[in-house]
Structure formats: structure tokens, C-alpha cells
Amino acid sequence: MNNAQKTIKRIGVLTGGGDAPGLNAVIRAVVKTAIREYEISVLGFLNGFGGLIKNQARELTENDVAGILPRGGTILGTTNRDNPFHYPVERNGERIFVDVSDRIFENTSIQEVDALVIIGGDGSLSIAKELNDKGMKLIGVPKTIDNDLYATDQTFGFDTALTTATEALDKLHTTAESHHRVMVLEVMGRNAGWIALHAGIAGGADVILIPEIPYNINKVAKKINQRSNQNKKFSIIVVAEGAKPIDGDVVVQRRVEESFDPIRLGGIGQVVAREIEVITGKESRVTVLGHLQRGGSPTAFDRILSTRYGTAAVNYLFEGRYGHMVCLRGSSIDTVPLEESITGQRMVSLDSDLLRSARQLGISFGDSD
């Protein structure tokens, strides 16, 4: 028995940031592995880091996680607010932000929790890194539909979001062809184009606009006119929410200062559709998938990846790999230090074979004829 096995008698688990299909599968794997393999109890903290700050938690047994594998969302609740190092409070009628991270250490001590499994994206993992630096034993699990987390080949939730976007494109094709329209589908992804690129290829898009390749709207219009001249009377455009024109900037919907990620992107689809109508004279319509991409039952791939992450997180805790994040490297599960996982965003490589394949199919990225 190693030192970690001697000192860890109870672990806590929480889900932070935006929800993603597969969160419940991770929770289920954590609980079942901890109870069956290591004979320890698991406490679930509610609503992200808010549960740690406010000491809101509940015991999780095997009965509690029975049947949750195919369920979307998270049984623990989540939020992309409640950063313990930047927590909003009212003082003298003024809203200020303070460090309340000491409460987390007090509450885990009260609950006799010896280590944490923190499931989240770059915001949650950045907080996890700070907690670990203060002495908390923990391990991170990468989660985001955007697939933009550094140091892992894929995050769970991405495959399900991709499937949702692809199904939407399949449906848009029929109405676009019937009405001879340009259909614009705006998808999530923040500053990375993974969802747009993969869904665009899988769904037969004619134009894909991603953040990594600033676009020229005239090049996009030229592609649409070329299709029209070939008697193809409709076009499908997929645009990532973080896409931007050459010499332009992203479209910001609003700001939420207390959030891990205060900038809310959205609206680029309307901008593209409006400009396409003006340049080509062709009727254009916009569909914004939004949070549909976060919802629903996870795909088989995401269920399996989430399960592997959950079991590995517990196993690595008992190996003493504190301050790490589980990751997918090729076909194997491993870990990387948390500081490595949050050093940057994983972007679409401009020399990737997938991008090259798309261009060879005739898909335009708005940067060339």
C-alpha cells in the first residue's frame, strides 16, 4: 500500500464550467471505481465550485449513479461562475471580488474529503491549479465540447456536439435545396474551429469559416456564385462563433465579468448571411445551434472516453499524481501536469491533413479562390 492509499479515505467530485454530454458518465466511473476498487466513499459537491465554497454536497453511492451513463447534463449541477479566487460579494453597497479559497479547505476538512476530482474546461482547471498550489490534493478531468484544451488529443463532449451539428446540416440541406437559399449554420467552439471544421466536412458544407483562418467575404461570395453558375442553386455555410474577417474582429454578444470566461461570442452567422445577401443577391437564412450542442445523450464514443477518464482519475489519485490532468494521447490515457494543460488553446493546425482534404473537396475557407 502506497502513501496515497493510506491517506485517501474519501474523495470529492465536482463538475465546473459549461455542461457537456458525458459528465454523468465521468461521475459514474469515479464513484464505481472508488467504491469497488478502493473501498472508499465519494462526496459530490453541487453546482461547481459553488458547492465547495458553500459546503453544499451529498454522498454518492452506486445507487445514485445507476442509470446515468446515457444521460446528458450533470446530476451534480454546474456553473461557469463562482471562482473562489475571484468571488463576488457585496460590501457597503458595492460589488467587489475577493479570494474565498480558504473556505474550500475548511469545507473539505469538515466533510473529511482527502482529495478532489475536478471535471471541467480551462477555467475550472486553472482554478484547480491554484487550489493544488495551495496544498489541495486533486486531479483534473478535461471537459469541453469545443475540443480546444491543450495537452489532450480529445475532450469528451466534442463528439456529441459534432454529431448534433452534423445532423443539423443534414436537415438544412433539404430546405436549402428546396428554396434555392444560402443556409448559414453558426456553431460553438469559442476561439477554435474544431466543431465547424469536422461538422462542415461530415455535413457536406460548401464553405467553412473558422477562427484560425480569417476570411474575406468576397471570396465566400465568389464560391457561392461559382456554385450558382454550375446550376447548384443552394449553398451551405458553417461558421464558428469565433470566426472573424480579415482585418476584423470577433462578434461579442455580451460580457459576464464573474464568469471563468467573461466574453460571450455570438452573432457572426447573422453578419455573414447579411453580407452574402448584399453581395450575391441570394436569399440567406441563419440557424444558430447554441446550447443544443451541449445537450442530449452522449454518443458511444463520448460515453467510453468519459468512463476511461473517470476510472483513470481515481487510479491516478491513488498513485499520488496530484496536480495532474488525465488526458488522451493517441489511444492511451495518461496524465499531464495541470500547468501544462492550461498553457494555451489547442487550435486547428493550418497544415493538418483534415484541412487539406477539405480544400481538395472544393470546400472554401474564405481565404482563396
**Catalytic residue ranges:** 146
Could you tell me which residues come within 8 angstroms of residue 6 by beta carbon, excluding any fewer than 6 positions away? Answer: none
Is there a contact between 114 and 9 (Cβ–Cβ < 8 Å)?
Answer: yes
Q: Show the cell assigned to 114.
A: 482527502
Please tell me whether residue 141 adopts helix, strand or coil conformation.
Answer: strand
Is there a contact between 214 and 246 (Cβ–Cβ < 8 Å)?
Answer: yes
For residues 31 and 42, what is the distance between their CA atoms, to the nearest angstrom?
6
Question: How close are the terminal C-alpha atoms of the chain, in Å?
Answer: 64
For 146, counting Cβ atoms within 10 Å of its Cβ (0-12 exposed, 13-18 middle, 19+ buried), the class is buried
Residues belonging to the chain: 369
**Whole-number Cα distances in Å, 112 to 64, 116, 199:** 20, 11, 45
Radius of gyration over every alpha carbon of the chain, rounded to an integer in angstroms = 22
User: What are the residues facing 156 on neighbouring strands?
Assistant: 143
User: What are the residues facing 173 on neighbouring strands?
Assistant: none
